[in-house]
Amino acid sequence: MEKLQGIPVSPGVVVGEALVLDAEGFRIPERFVSRDAVQAELERLDHAIQAAGEEIARNQDTVSRELGPKYGAIFGAHLEMLRDAQLREELEEMIRREHYSAEYAVSRTFRRYAEVFQRLESAYLAERANDIYDIEKRLLRHLLGRRREQLSHLSSPVLVLAHNLTPSETANLDRRFVRGFVTEVGGPGSHTAIVAAALEIPAVVGTGPFLTRVSGGDLVIIDGDNGLVILHPDEETLARYQYEAEQARSLAVRLQSLRDLPAQTADGVRIELMGNIEFPYEVDHCLERGADGIGLYRTEFLYLGCDKEPDEETHFQAYAQVVRAMGDRPVVIRTLDLGADKVPCVARTEEERNPFLGLRSIRLALRNIPMFRTQLRAILRASALGNVRVMFPLISTVLELRQAKMILGDVMEDLAERGVPFNRNLPVGMMVEVPSAVLLIERFVEEVDFLSIGTNDLIQYTLAVDRTNKDTVGLYNPTDPAVLKLIAMTVQVAKERGTPVNLCGQMSSSPIYTMLLLGLGLRQFSVTPSAIPEIKQVCRCVTIAQCEATAQRALSMENARDIRSYLKEELRKYVPELGG
Ligand code: PEP
Ligand code: MG
What residue segments make up the domains of the chain, in order of their start?
2-25+149-250, 32-144, 259-579
Q: In this predicted model, what pLDDT tens digit does every residue of 326-372 receive, in sequence order?
A: 999 999 999 999 988 776 656 566 778 898 999 999 999 999 999 99
Closest ligand 1 atom, residue 455 Cα: 3
Ligand 2 centroid, distance to 323 Cα (angstroms): 22
What is the pLDDT averaged over residues 97-124?
Answer: 84
Q: Is residue 216 within 8 Å of residue 28, measured between CB atoms?
A: yes
C-alpha closest to that of 369 among 411, 337, 397 = 411
Instruction: Determine what percent of the chain is predicted with pLDDT higher than 90.
Output: 66
Closest ligand 1 atom, residue 453 Cα: 3
Q: Whose CA is nearest to atom 6 of ligand 1?
A: 454
Does 255 have pLDDT greater than 70?
A: yes
Q: What is the pLDDT of residue 23?
A: 61
Structural fold of domain 2-25+149-250: Glucose Oxidase; domain 1 (3.50.30)
DSSP string, 313-358: HHHHHHHHHHHHHHTTS-EEEEPP--BTTBS--TT--S--SSGGGS
Output phi, psi for 337, to 5 deg.
-115, 55
Q: Is residue 100 within 8 Å of residue 92, measured between CB atoms?
A: no
Q: Is residue 265 within 8 Å of residue 542, measured between CB atoms?
A: yes
Tell me the best of 337, 356, 391 to mutate to test the pocket of ligand 1, counting ligand atoms within 8 Å of each CB and taking the most. 337
Q: In this predicted model, what pLDDT tens digit does every residue of 452-498 receive, in sequence order?
A: 999 999 999 999 999 989 899 999 999 999 999 999 999 999 999 99
Instruction: Determine what percent of the chain is predicted with pLDDT higher than 70.
Output: 95
Does 152 have pLDDT greater than 90?
A: no
Q: Is residue 183 within 8 Å of residue 211, measured between CB atoms?
A: no
Closest ligand 1 atom, residue 361 Cα: 10
Dist CA 159 CA 10 (whole Å): 14
Tell me the best of 278, 282, 294, 298 to mutate to test the pocket of ligand 1, counting ligand atoms within 8 Å of each CB and taking the most. 298
Q: Whose CA is nearest to atom 9 of ligand 1?
A: 298
- Binned at pLDDT 50, 70 and 90, residue 391 comes out as very high
Helix 481-497 and helix 544-556, axial crossing angle in degrees, nearest 10: 130
Dist CA 403 CA 401 (whole Å): 5
Q: Whose CA is nearest to atom 8 of ligand 1?
A: 456
Burial 295-316 (b: 16+ CB within 10 A, else e): bbbbbbbbbbeeeebbeeeebb
Output phi, psi for 203, to 5 deg.
-150, 145
Dist CA 557 CA 553 (whole Å): 7
Least reliable range by pLDDT among 85-89, 349-353, 372-376, 573-577: 349-353
Q: In this predicted model, what pLDDT tens digit does every residue of 219-254 receive, in sequence order?
A: 999 999 999 999 999 999 999 998 888 888 888 888
C-alpha closest to that of 441 among 398, 478, 392, 402 = 398
| CA–CA–CA angle 317, 319, 321 (5° rounding) | 70
Does 504 have pLDDT greater than 80?
A: yes
Ligand 1 centroid, distance to 40 Cα (angstroms): 52
Helix 69-82 and helix 123-144, axial crossing angle in degrees, nearest 10: 60
What is the pLDDT averaged over residues 285-305?
Answer: 92
Q: What is the pLDDT of residue 519?
A: 98
Closest ligand 1 atom, residue 189 Cα: 8
Ligand 1 centroid, distance to 323 Cα (angstroms): 21
Ligand 1 centroid, distance to 1 Cα (angstroms): 37
SS3 289: coil
Q: What is the pLDDT of residue 194?
A: 82
Q: What is the pLDDT of residue 180?
A: 95
SS3 272: strand
User: Computed from CA positions of residues 237, 240, 246, 252, in that sequence, does the dihedral angle turn out positive or negative?
Assistant: negative
What is the pLDDT averaged over residues 417-431?
Answer: 98
Q: Is residue 507 within 8 Å of residue 482, measured between CB atoms?
A: no
SS3 281: coil
What is the pLDDT averaged over residues 134-161?
Answer: 77
Helices (H) then strands (E): counts for the chain: 21, 17
What is the pLDDT averaged over residues 422-435?
Answer: 98
CA of 299, nearest ligand number? 1
Greater pLDDT, 156 or 511? 511
Does 205 have pLDDT greater than 60?
A: yes
- Binned at pLDDT 50, 70 and 90, residue 62 comes out as confident
Dist CA 96 CA 418 (whole Å): 76
What is the pLDDT averaged over residues 116-135?
Answer: 77
Q: Is residue 442 within 8 Å of residue 436, measured between CB atoms?
A: no
Dist CA 488 CA 578 (whole Å): 25
Q: What is the pLDDT of residue 167?
A: 76
Q: Is residue 367 within 8 Å of residue 349, measured between CB atoms?
A: no
Dist CA 222 CA 214 (whole Å): 14
Closest ligand 1 atom, residue 507 Cα: 3
Mean pLDDT of the chain: 91
Structural fold of domain 32-144: Enzyme I; Chain A, domain 2 (1.10.274)
pTM, rounded to two decimals: 0.80
Dist CA 245 CA 251 (whole Å): 10
Ligand 2 centroid, distance to 159 Cα (angstroms): 29
Greater pLDDT, 135 or 575? 575
C-alpha closest to that of 232 among 4, 28, 38 = 4
Tell me the best of 360, 451, 456, 461 to mutate to test the pocket of ligand 1, counting ligand atoms within 8 Å of each CB and taking the most. 456
Does 148 have pLDDT greater than 70?
A: no
| CA–CA–CA angle 8, 566, 190 (5° rounding) | 25
Closest ligand 1 atom, residue 454 Cα: 3
Dist CA 564 CA 266 (whole Å): 23
Q: In this predicted model, what pLDDT tens digit does every residue of 261-278 receive, in sequence order?
A: 999 999 999 999 999 999
Does 419 have pLDDT greater than 60?
A: yes
C-alpha closest to that of 264 among 471, 71, 580, 540 = 540
Q: Whose CA is nearest to atom 1 of ligand 1?
A: 454
Dist CA 528 CA 510 (whole Å): 9
Dist CA 248 CA 295 (whole Å): 27
Dist CA 368 CA 506 (whole Å): 29
Output phi, psi for 286, to 5 deg.
-75, -45
Ligand 2 centroid, distance to 311 Cα (angstroms): 24
Output phi, psi for 28, to 5 deg.
-90, 110
Greater pLDDT, 509 or 142? 509
Q: Hey, how many other C-beta atoms are within 10 angstroms of the C-beta on 9? A: 26
Q: What is the pLDDT of residue 551?
A: 98
Q: In this predicted model, what pLDDT tens digit does every residue of 524-549 receive, in sequence order?
A: 999 999 999 999 999 999 999 999 99
Catalytic annotation, residues? 191, 504
- Binned at pLDDT 50, 70 and 90, residue 149 comes out as low
Dist CA 465 CA 475 (whole Å): 7
Q: Whose CA is nearest to atom 4 of ligand 1?
A: 454
Q: Whose CA is nearest to atom 3 of ligand 1?
A: 454
Does 25 have pLDDT greater than 70?
A: no
Q: What is the pLDDT of residue 346?
A: 61
Ligand 1 centroid, distance to 505 Cα (angstroms): 6
User: Which 3-state string (H, E, C) describes 68-119?
Assistant: CHHHHHHHHHHHHHHCCHHHHHHHHHHHHHHCECHHHHHHHHHHHHHHHHHH
The CA–CA distances, whole Å, from 307 to 146, 302, 352, 374 equal 22, 11, 20, 17
Q: May I ask the CATH architecture of the domain 259-579?
A: Alpha-Beta Barrel (3.20)
Which residues have any ligand 1 atom within 6 Å of their CB?
194, 296, 298, 337, 433, 454-457, 504-505
